[in-house]
Structure 1
Amino acid sequence: MLDLFTIFSKGGIVLWYFQSTAQIFTPSVNALIKSVILQERTGNQSFEHENLRLQYKLDNEFDLVFVVAYQKILQLSYVDKFLNDIHLEFRDRFKNDLQKSSWFSNYEFSKPYQRTLTLAEQWGKSQAKIPKQMRTFDESFKSKKTVASMIERKDDNKDSKKQNKKKKGTNVADEGQPKTQEVPKVPDSPKAAPFLNGELNEDTMLANRMKLVQKMATGPKKKADKQKSPKPEKVGKKPRVWELSGTNKDVANLERTKDKPEESREYVAADTTIIGQMKGGIRDLEVESDSEEDEESDEPEVQQYKPQTPKKSGGVFSMFKSLVGNKSLKEEDMQPVLEKLKDHLIAKNVATDIAQKLCDSICVKLEGKVLGTFESVSSTVKATLTDALVQILSPKRRVDILRDAIEAKKQKKPYVMAFCGVNGVGKSTNLAKICFWLIENNFRVLIAACDTFRAGAVEQLRTHMRHLNALHPPEKHSNLTMVQLYEKGYGKDAAGIAMEAINYARDAHFDIVLIDTAGRMQDNEPLMRALAKLIKVNEPDLVLFVGEALVGNEAVDQLVKFNQALADYSSSTNPHIIDGIVLTKFDTIDDKVGAAISMTYITGQPIVFVGTGQTYTDLKSLNAKAVVHALMK
């Protein structure tokens, strides 16, 4: 059943392995190491790669990894028990060698492996539920019915009535006594008696008829009409009057159409002080935490013969300062620390699911680790989480746009970047910031206005184009502008406009094409299909998702559904999904920087740019250590 079982150290030394097939498992194990162990995603203890399912167990005391691989179509219930048993068997057998770190690759472990596997398989068979078999006709209730049992008798009806009375709450004491009917009392006077021998007499019947005739003659009593208040007259909808909204006389000064003469236009002078500030690479982001909590010190305690009262610390983990030991960590020891840690991460805007997965991963990574004499549980968990967060935010691959643009320029083709995201996150604004950074590095940029849905989207880009060209006017001996807008108006196919813009950029020798797309919610299927079509048809070099730093759980939902839509609607075996993230409005969140963790954790893609303001120079690159420092405050 098992295709592969291997034991290796976290340093990469294979201690022992067993392989039952000729299949090559190296890519799958490498994918497990790269995508799970190094990226701090060890909470699930299961990983799927191609047609294989890999289950693993970490030994944090000796830094070992136990991995089992089998076909994912199989449902093996004994794998978890097998991993636990084989882990204990290997530790007990080679504990002395592992403590001395005298690792070698010729462990005699074949017989214990086969014995442990056989016991685990037998346990799995015993635990498997046997499917319930159908009853035969002779065993069924229907076969016991006879003709005699289907005949109804009076005694059976009485018994059933008694049972019904019991259900309705009748007294049990009164059940045996027959219930007598109430007979109306007959008065002494025969004239006044309405009943005579159980029947109405003639006088009573005549009186009843007279009453009925009188009632029909008078008719039903009319209810007193209530005085209803008169309905208010319908008032038409009044237009809203805004304060300082102006009058018709101000229309001439507010007119900004193309047909207006150039002489009447008034432009604000360009701020030339920002020219030259964005040359070279993007500067790192600096995050300052406003928290007044002090970091706890990791210094050892003073000598035992001179005890001192512990100082009160306001840090997040100060309540666990006293947990010091020289023993291996257990899950119950870390649970209070991890609960406090999860609440702290959620308060810093990390999505709830991501915070839980991070805590589970830290628990798996630290379980069984032996603490030193002066190491506390809180400081160990905090240091491990800090390293994990830095590892998550550190990009697995470097996105160097300047280098890639120069390489594309050598091949005489433009470097294409597409921006996507939900409504109102700042796609056009941050596109203009990136455009300013590119022209500062002497790249000619063509902006493709593919937002053909939102009113004013093309005009917004045209305004940015004018401002950028005012900051970087063409040289005297050349009439080539640094920024140009390619637009075809509204209501057109965005994918077709992007294709035409790329072809135009190739012919006009533009270096970079920036494609601005319409904002769309992640649940809008027609617009998501249109976005997938644009990316599939034009194959941009870089697809950037623009998201807000203000959101927490919503960021996870947006990214997951955008990626899923791009994969589903592209109808391709190798779809082009999101390559990087632009995190906007970072200047509005203080030290609640958890959205960066959520977005990077869920996609595994790097945060390429961070928007920190409303000017062209407010563009930074993510500094992982600074963000984690603010997050852990």
Structure 2
Amino acid sequence: MLDHCSISHKGGIVLWSRSFTPEASHIASSAASPVNSLIREALIESRTTGEKYEKDGFAVKWTFVNDLELIFVVAYQRILQLTYVDELLAALKSLFVKLFQPFLTTFVASLHAGSTAKASIADAVTSWNFATAFNGWDKYFDTLLKTLEDKAAQERKSRLRAPIRSQPANESSPPSDDQSTEPSQSEDAAQDEQQIARNVQALKARLRGRGGRRGGRPSMRSVDSGSGRDSVNNSECVTPKRKAAKKTGRKWGDEAPTEADMDVLNYSMEKSDMSDFNPSKDVQSLVDKASMGSRNKEGLYEVKDWEFEINNTVAEALKTTEVKPASTTSGSLGALGSLFSRLTGSKVLTEQDLKPVLDAMKQHLMKKNVAMEIADKVCEGVGESLVGKKVGGFQSTNGAVRMALSTSITRILTPKTSTDLLLSIRTKLSSPLTSTQQRNPYSMTFVGVNGVGKSTNLSKVCFWLIQNGLRVLIAACDTFRSGAVEQLRVHVRNLSVLGVDGATDSKGRVELFERGYGKDAAGIAREAISYARDNDFDVVLIDTAGRMQDNEPLMRALAKLVTVNNPDKIIFVGEALVGNEAVDQLKKFDRALRDFSSGTGTGKERGIDGMLVTKWDTVDDKVGAALSMTYVTGQPILFVGCGQTYTDLRQLRVANVVQAILSD
């Protein structure tokens, strides 16, 4: 177990530290601490060589990032002989710089910009808020440390098992036919199951080989013990073949199947009493406790924020350190940072200076799944903000270009309208009415192309609304796809047993409104909203059929549904996997809805009000679809779907998306 870990600037500023025991915390803060002794004797006085220092029973290891003037230090009790410390230091260096390089670059540049080094360092201690700047680092560190500790524990176990597994098989002479080929009880106790299986196979192989040797004594066994084949020397004892069971033929008559025949083939569990459904058995598979959100001060249930895949980021850092364990300069800057190394010296930037850097930046964005058209415009905006800017030295140039890119992406992703759906719902439900008016429920229509996961993610949104105490009616307006109504029926059945806290019964909080297949979707939605109004439902979620953006008749039908029912929100459901296709889908969906809805004579045109991006867990840091979709519509991403349970819904924070896009 570690005792102390810290990240410091060479000037003496501690950026981050962690002590794992009270004793270690006291030792780290004292003048005689091994870390302070390391700085004094090893780093300042150069009285030790290598990258390991021992003092008062402690072992201290360290590594540098010279271009950013950082020191990474790990201290532990020397008697423990921790084998993963070197890998931990290398991964810490790679991960920390990868996550916070823009801030670190600006910070180091500010130190060198001061009048004196001592004065600038003193000012930095008071002016820079490192706790805020490195917010979230503790989670990455904990994940990294746990990964390496688990890996070391597995290696120790494998070393302990190695002597047992490496015991040679019994090489005694082959037993005679009347000898037992089974291992003794003492051998069972000494060897594991895998070794016993190998021994048995070896004995069987020797028996088969001995029986087949030319000139050997013929065997009188009816069946060879190793192969299961009949002996050639005892043909009269051949076991007769077992007669196969006769397959019952299916009846393929010309008559239509009866209701009883159809009931036999019905596995949809659509019976209203749900007699075959066991809630206590199946509830655990419907929610993921680790993905559950939390309640705020007002008691409202909020879904979790999406965080830039801590486990994947840590794994990537470990993978990088395995390939390049000694990487310092180039490894700390990363691929994106190396783009800016072309801009050096103190000068005023011109378009010619920026062109190769912006071209490489465009390729980086496209690798992150940003549509080519959007990547072009983003890089164009970054170039316009930098042309004519005077920069000096590599560090300030690097920071300036990265900061400009970060600012541009942040500006695009920042929502222009509110993303608080609960606030919109509560505002409508609490608005005053006249004595003759009847309150309409809040309605949301989910639209999108085929197969993106509209019904599944509609159900996740429904679970979130139920958690906040709202009554929800789901309108099955996909009257075209076979099984669409049954799919929603299963979701409603599941949601009805989850309840407000994911465990208690919530029957009555959610219902399904359906009229079967082949009906007019706009009419079904109108009836559903009327039913919800008469039965005190708070929200209506309208599921629509998937359609391609180029199919004009289907887009006209969708525009009719929107025009007739005027939903409060039109939510486009798209995939995180698409790149250039996302731009085409969104443009044509939004344009078709606006054109066809305004052409109905009402004079109102309706476009997309927000987006829900599905399959977010399949793209790691390639989250460029979020940038493309937001750029095209100017509308916010309300949620992202990232799993198969009802709790696998996340909110996007702009800072997390920017971090993922800028990561190497």
TM class by smaller structure: 0.5 to 0.7
Whole-angstrom distance in 2 between the partners of 1:282 and 1:325: 48
Q: 1:274 to 1:253 in 2, by over 3 A?
A: farther
Q: 1:567 to 1:251 in 2, by over 3 A?
A: closer
Q: Residue 302 of structure 2 aligns to a residue in which SS?
A: coil
Residue in structure 2 matching 1:255, options 237, 249, 266: 266
Q: 1:434 to 1:598 in 2, by over 3 A?
A: same
Does the CA-based 8 Å contact 1:473-1:482 persist in structure 2? no
Higher mean C-alpha deviation, range 521-530 or range 371-380: 371-380
Q: For each residue in 1:387-427, what CA deviation from the matched residue of structure 2 results, as whole angstroms up to 9, or x when unmatched?
A: 11122111111121111211222243211110000000000
Please report how far the alpha carbon of residue 368 of structure 1 lies from its aligned counterpart in structure 2 after TM superposition.
1.1
Does the CA-based 8 Å contact 1:278-1:440 persist in structure 2? no
Match of residue 549 from structure 1 = 576
Match of residue 202 from structure 1 = none
Whole-angstrom distance in 1 between the partners of 2:530 and 2:483: 25
Give the TM-score of the pair, scaled to structure 1: 0.55
Q: Residue 315 of structure 1 aligns to a residue in which SS?
A: helix
Residue in structure 1 matching 2:412, options 392, 403, 408: 392
Count matched residues.
371
Does the CA-based 8 Å contact 1:293-1:315 persist in structure 2? no
Q: 1:434 and 2:455 equivalent?
A: no
Match of residue 271 from structure 1 = 283
Match of residue 283 from structure 1 = 304
Match of residue 540 from structure 2 = 513
Whole-angstrom distance in 2 between the partners of 1:259 and 1:373: 70
**Which structure: greater helix fraction?**
2
Does the CA-based 8 Å contact 1:444-1:510 persist in structure 2? yes
Whole-angstrom distance in 1 between the partners of 2:425 and 2:368: 36
Q: 1:311 to 1:341 in 2, by over 3 A?
A: closer
Matches within 5 A, 1:1-80: none
Letter in 1 for 2:489: R
Letter in 2 for 1:591: D
Whole-angstrom distance in 1 between the partners of 2:517 and 2:406: 48
Match of residue 540 from structure 1 = 567
Residue in structure 1 matching 2:631, options 597, 601, 611: 601
Whole-angstrom distance in 2 between the partners of 1:552 and 1:263: 43
Give the TM-score of the pair, scaled to structure 2: 0.52
Q: 1:293 to 1:378 in 2, by over 3 A?
A: farther
Whole-angstrom distance in 2 between the partners of 1:450 and 1:329: 57
Higher mean C-alpha deviation, range 458-467 or range 265-274: 265-274
Please report how far the alpha carbon of residue 372 of structure 1 lies from its aligned counterpart in structure 2 after TM superposition.
4.0
Match of residue 377 from structure 2 = 357
Q: Residue 324 of structure 1 aligns to a residue in which SS?
A: coil
Matches within 5 A, 1:32-431: 255-256=266-267, 265=276, 267=278, 269-271=281-283, 277=293, 279=295, 280-288=301-309, 290=313, 292=316, 313-321=333-341, 323-373=343-393, 375-411=395-431, 412-431=439-458
Whole-angstrom distance in 1 between the partners of 2:429 and 2:646: 25
Q: 1:466 and 2:466 equivalent?
A: no
Whole-angstrom distance in 2 between the partners of 1:372 and 1:356: 27
Whole-angstrom distance in 1 between the partners of 2:595 and 2:330: 57
Q: For each residue in 1:236-286, what CA deviation from the matched residue of structure 2 results, as whole angstroms up to 9, or x when unmatched?
A: xxxxxxxxxx99699987632679796973556342676874652222111
Match of residue 168 from structure 2 = none
Does the CA-based 8 Å contact 1:334-1:377 persist in structure 2? no
Does the CA-based 8 Å contact 2:305-2:650 persist in structure 1? yes
Q: Residue 485 of structure 1 aligns to a residue in which SS?
A: strand
Please report how far the alpha carbon of residue 554 of structure 1 lies from its aligned counterpart in structure 2 after TM superposition.
0.4
Q: Which runs of 5+ in 1 are unaligned?
A: 1-245, 295-308
Whole-angstrom distance in 2 between the partners of 1:366 and 1:425: 39
Q: Residue 325 of structure 1 aligns to a residue in which SS?
A: coil
Q: 1:452 to 1:339 in 2, by over 3 A?
A: same
Q: Which runs of 5+ in 2 are unaligned?
A: 1-247, 252-260, 296-300, 319-327, 432-438
Please report how far the alpha carbon of residue 369 of structure 1 lies from its aligned counterpart in structure 2 after TM superposition.
1.5
Matches within 5 A, 1:446-595: 446-472=473-499, 481-570=508-597, 571=599, 573-595=603-625
Does the CA-based 8 Å contact 1:473-1:481 persist in structure 2? no
Whole-angstrom distance in 1 between the partners of 2:380 and 2:317: 26
Whole-angstrom distance in 1 between the partners of 2:329 and 2:270: 77
Q: 1:318 to 1:261 in 2, by over 3 A?
A: closer
Q: 1:414 to 1:264 in 2, by over 3 A?
A: closer
Letter in 2 for 1:286: E
Letter in 1 for 2:345: G
Please report how far the alpha carbon of residue 382 of structure 1 lies from its aligned counterpart in structure 2 after TM superposition.
1.7
Whole-angstrom distance in 2 between the partners of 1:450 and 1:574: 22
Does the CA-based 8 Å contact 2:495-2:506 persist in structure 1? no
Whole-angstrom distance in 1 between the partners of 2:294 and 2:250: 44
Residue in structure 2 matching 1:614, options 626, 640, 644: 644
Q: For each residue in 1:176-202, what CA deviation from the matched residue of structure 2 results, as whole angstroms up to 9, or x when unmatched?
A: xxxxxxxxxxxxxxxxxxxxxxxxxxx
Q: Residue 598 of structure 1 aligns to a residue in which SS?
A: helix
Please report how far the alpha carbon of residue 373 of structure 1 lies from its aligned counterpart in structure 2 after TM superposition.
4.9
Match of residue 657 from structure 2 = 627
Does the CA-based 8 Å contact 2:446-2:542 persist in structure 1? yes
Does the CA-based 8 Å contact 2:270-2:489 persist in structure 1? no
Q: 1:258 to 1:626 in 2, by over 3 A?
A: closer
Does the CA-based 8 Å contact 1:324-1:376 persist in structure 2? no
Letter in 2 for 1:271: V
Q: 1:539 to 1:370 in 2, by over 3 A?
A: same
Letter in 2 for 1:365: S
Whole-angstrom distance in 2 between the partners of 1:257 and 1:464: 12
Q: For each residue in 1:564-615, what CA deviation from the matched residue of structure 2 results, as whole angstroms up to 9, or x when unmatched?
A: 1011111154411000000000001111111111101111110001000000
Please report how far the alpha carbon of residue 625 of structure 1 lies from its aligned counterpart in structure 2 after TM superposition.
1.1
Whole-angstrom distance in 1 between the partners of 2:371 and 2:268: 46
Whole-angstrom distance in 2 between the partners of 1:442 and 1:259: 26
Q: 1:333 to 1:527 in 2, by over 3 A?
A: same
Q: Residue 320 of structure 1 aligns to a residue in which SS?
A: helix
Whole-angstrom distance in 2 between the partners of 1:609 and 1:451: 22
Q: 1:574 to 1:453 in 2, by over 3 A?
A: same
Q: Residue 575 of structure 1 aligns to a residue in which SS?
A: coil
Q: For each residue in 1:303-331, what CA deviation from the matched residue of structure 2 results, as whole angstroms up to 9, or x when unmatched?
A: xxxxxx96664332315325223322111
Q: Which has the larger radius of gyration?
A: 1
Q: 1:508 to 1:278 in 2, by over 3 A?
A: farther
Does the CA-based 8 Å contact 2:498-2:506 persist in structure 1? no
Q: 1:612 to 1:501 in 2, by over 3 A?
A: same
Q: 1:310 to 1:624 in 2, by over 3 A?
A: closer
Match of residue 127 from structure 1 = none
Q: 1:469 to 1:409 in 2, by over 3 A?
A: same
Letter in 2 for 1:380: A
